[in-house]
Chain A
Amino acid sequence: MRFERREHRPFYLLIATPVIAIIAALALAGILISIAGAPVLDAYWRILTGAFGSRLSATETLTRATPLMLTGLAAAVAFRARLWNIGAEGQFYLGAIAVAAASSKLLGNLPAPILIPLLLLVGAIAGMVLILLPLWLRLRFSVDEVVTSLLMNFIAVLFVSMLIDGVLKDPLAFGWPQSQSVSDHAMLPKLIARSRLHIGFAIAIALAIVVHFIQSRTVFGMQSRAAGLNPAGAVFAGVPLGRTLVKVACLSGGLAGLAGAIEVMGVKGYVTTDLSPGFGYAGIVVAMLANLNPLGVVFAAIFTATMFVGADGMSRGLGIPTYIADVTVALSLLTMLIALFFTQYRIRR
């Protein structure tokens, strides 16, 4: 069996690829569900209705999709330049804790129209800071940033744990390690009344459009893409590789930090060490499912959120562990990889 590169890629294939990948992942996860002794179609139906069956669940799913869109964008912009930022989880937490700190210690008294944008900016900057060390190590010592940015996740979560156990601890939390709450007027306005869906959802979609515009229409977008496709060629063509990667890293880390900030200001109001059920890692899958396309990220994030939110109800109803959602999402990364391969190659005997 040999593989032959396709001369051109038909457009319909690019659209069909994620769909095929998701169906394949659902089929594989279906095997696991049926081994567990539950009816597969019923299980998926429960996931779907659990995620979109009512106004409450639908808004909940979109609320859950919001941080995933941002961490997905963070991964997508970095991966496109072949900057392997796997540290979105840590950047998320740093963004979150920076917001809690700035709101409770420094800026809390400002009026909402100034405070909210300022806090979002603080969160984004905190996320950027965390990616700078791995980036510096790569540029200066050519250390692969995958492992360093990943290790920063553990450091960041422990750092957050230290702060919410110490200087930022909420004295009213009955000794529970939890940060002080952000002030009420720092909370993001609701998008739909009597739901948890907040304006962050709209911000995330707007950012996906902005990132799409940056990538397709600006010099920086072109340079970051060239850096990813062929770094040596890009340098030869006059792309300032180091500077481009710094900008890409700031964009990526900023988006992940913003995800943390928005989660605190939109949903929880305070930080604990279980603020993120792996949003940073799921963002990698979201980015891959979207084939690193910023607009695709919006849909991939909604798919992922659907699995996570829907799995809760399904789990209660059928006794299947909720981890089936994580399994399906991870499987869809692998099936997407294979599906993408076959958009580029065909089998020749």
Chain B
Amino acid sequence: MTQLFDIIASAGLWAAVLRIATPLIFGTLGALLCERAGVLNLGIEGIMTFGAMIGWLSVYHGADLWTGLLIAAVAGGIFGLLHASLTVTLGLSQHVSGLGVTLFASSFSYYVFRLIVPLANTPPTIVPFQPIAIPGLSTLPFIGPAFFTQTAPTYLAILIALLMAYIIFRTPVGLAIRMTGENPHAADAQGVNPMKVRYGAVIIGSALMGMGGAFLTLSAFNSFFPTMVQGRGWICIALVVFASWRPGRALFGALLFAFFDAFQLRLQTALSGLVPYQLFLMTPYILSVAALAIMARRARVPQALMQPYRRGER
């Protein structure tokens, strides 16, 4: 029992929570934005993989870290454009198109990576984002080292969550996005072009997914390896439901999720040898399924989610 308490009371745990949450925050916000406009984007897993790869590769070839992050965002946006063309313009199944984007983006990432970086025993590395101590706040006891000595993209992710909450609920643009996700016909009648809104939401949402992937290679780790995204994209899709399509709750959900993940990592070392480590590794996925089951009933799904929109056709 004291062991459990020690784990929870350590600043290291809470610092890890924010670090683990960051890619989830980016990814969940990205998926949330797409779904608010009525487009399910299952390309997320592949887009995150590609973001992780291209961000790393850019920095490895001499770009600075912020440029790497930007390139990952642009690449994510391009995959978003692909998904939007297939689902918005052509009105194809969002499920199948998203899976296609995921399969393509991840295999394309491995291909490009292997083409440029030949097999080596030790993967080449870069110098990742360093933690920034926020003056004043970081010297607070316990809270300082836990919450105010993160890398820059973590602060950025939290900022984007707050900004997105503001945009979606307080601005005309947000209203247009919500209307498009609820009832594109009504939106169209009000002079909002649902096609344009959906394109915009999917492209920007996918750009966020790309940044979430890039965080893994530019901040959390310093090299790229295949399968490093490890289902984080799918977890983000579950987190969107858990968050009931609200950015603030998405932030909370990602942090809660990351808390369990960081906690199980430490429990794993504390109990090593007693319990098979695979049981701990399963927990994020089991938690996601549980989160879906608990929240699915109460959640208010955007009514036009997964419905293609064609003017004059119902």
Chain A interface (Cβ within 8 Å of chain B)?
A: 3, 32, 36, 79, 84, 86, 133, 137, 141-143, 146-148, 150-152, 154-155, 158-159, 161-162, 165-166, 281, 284-285, 288, 320-321, 323-324, 326-327, 329-331, 333-334, 337-338, 341
Contact = CB atoms under 8 A, between A and B. Distances in A.
B114 A323 contact: yes
A321 B86 CA distance: 28
A326 B310 CA distance: 33
Contacts of A320: 115
B95 A84 contact: yes
Interface stretch (B20-28, B217-225, B285-293): B285-293
A155 B285 contact: yes
A229 to B, nearest CB: 13
Interface in B56-95: 82, 86, 90, 92-93, 95
A150 B115 CA distance: 29
A146 B42 contact: yes
A86 B92 CA distance: 18
A249 to B, nearest CB: 16
Q: How large is the interface on B (under 10, 10 to 19, 20 to 34, 35 or more residues)?
A: 35 or more
20 contacts: A141-B296, A141-B297, A147-B234, A147-B238, A147-B292, A151-B234, A154-B285, A158-B279, A162-B278, A162-B279, A320-B115, A321-B110, A323-B110, A323-B111, A326-B103, A326-B107, A326-B111, A329-B107, A334-B97, A337-B93
Contact of A151 (B93, B231, B279): B231
In the A-B complex, the 9 residue pairs with the smallest Cβ-Cβ separation, listed nearest first, are: A326-B107, A321-B114, A330-B103, A162-B278, A330-B104, A323-B111, A333-B100, A323-B110, A158-B278
B262 interface: no
B296 A146 contact: no
A330 B276 contact: no
Interface string B8-36: 00000000000000000000000000000
Interface centre among A32, A84, A158, A166 (most CB of B within 10 A): A158
B289 to A, nearest CB: 5
Nearest to A333: B100
Contacts of B101: 334
A36 B116 CA distance: 9
B234 A337 contact: no
B96 interface: yes
Given A137-B292, A146-B95, A166-B276, A327 B238 contact: no
Given A150-B234, A321-B110, A334-B101, 15 more contacts: A86-B99, A141-B297, A142-B296, A147-B237, A150-B231, A151-B235, A151-B238, A158-B278, A158-B279, A162-B278, A165-B278, A323-B107, A329-B107, A330-B107, A334-B100
B209 to A, nearest CB: 15
Contacts of A333: 96, 99-100, 103-104
Contact of B289 (A148, A162, A285, A338): A148
A338 B282 contact: no
A321 B115 contact: yes
Contacts of A32: 111
B263 interface: no
Contacts of A147: 234, 237-238, 288, 292
Q: Which DSSP category, helix, strand, loop or mixed, fits chain B's interface? A: helix
Contacts of B143: none
Q: Which DSSP category, helix, strand, loop or mixed, fits chain A's interface? A: helix
B281 interface: yes
A159 B296 contact: no
B103 A281 contact: yes
Nearest to B297: A141
A284 B103 contact: yes
Contacts of B292: 137, 143, 147-148
A159 B170 CA distance: 46
B155 interface: no
A336 to B, nearest CB: 9
A337 B282 contact: no
B142 interface: no
Nearest to B280: A158
B108 interface: yes
B100 to A, nearest CB: 4
A90 to B, nearest CB: 10
A94 to B, nearest CB: 14
A341 B296 contact: no
Nearest to A160: B278
A285 B101 CA distance: 12
B293 A143 contact: yes
A334 B104 contact: yes
B242 to A, nearest CB: 11
B110 to A, nearest CB: 4
